[in-house]
Amino acid sequence: MKKLLLLLPVVLVLLSTSTVFASGKPERIPAPLPQPLVVSGSCSFDVDATVVKNNEYFKNFNDASGNLVRQLVNGSLVVTLTNLSNSHAITVNISGPGYATFYADGSFIQRFEGNAAIFLPNLFILTSGRVDVKTFPDGHSAILRMSGSQQDVCTLIS
């Protein structure tokens, strides 16, 4: 039993070291929002998302093979969302933070916390709280969890 207790710290150090090597040091890079960005199919009209302020960045974590397995998004992001059919607009802080976990099958789960804008087919919402969205290998997405408050962007700028 005494030998087992002596080996436990060695095993724990080896396990923690292998995790560090497998994940590597995170890479920190700017997270630009493509401009122009027009969101179609979420509302009955197209929505322009214009960056007012963006100093967001990604922290990318790769496995030992170099595959992206986790991504954190932090920083400040403020955008103006404009209804392109009537020019009604709102300016919103959607600074998050956000997280993504990537899987070998090509799917990934995004977790939005704090303030976020989420657009899917027939849905464009501003959220304050936690929302988990899974994107499947075929590209379609589904909300897995939603807590906090939500506002419908389509209604806000119609």
- Tens digit of each residue's pLDDT (9 = 90 or more) over 70-111: 999 999 999 999 999 999 999 999 999 999 999 999 999 999
Mean pLDDT of 110-135: 97
For residue 139, give Cα distances in angstroms to 47, 109, 134.
Answer: 21, 12, 10
| Least confidently predicted of 7-16, 39-48, 117-126, 146-155 | 7-16
Residue 11: pLDDT band by 50, 70, 90 thresholds?
Answer: very low
- Measured at the CA of 58, the angle between CA 53 and CA 61, to 5 degrees, comes to 175
3-class SS at 19? helix
- Tokens standing for 98? 């956000």
Taking the C-alpha atoms of residue 92 and residue 80, their distance in angstroms, rounded to an integer, is: 6
pTM for the model stands at 0.81
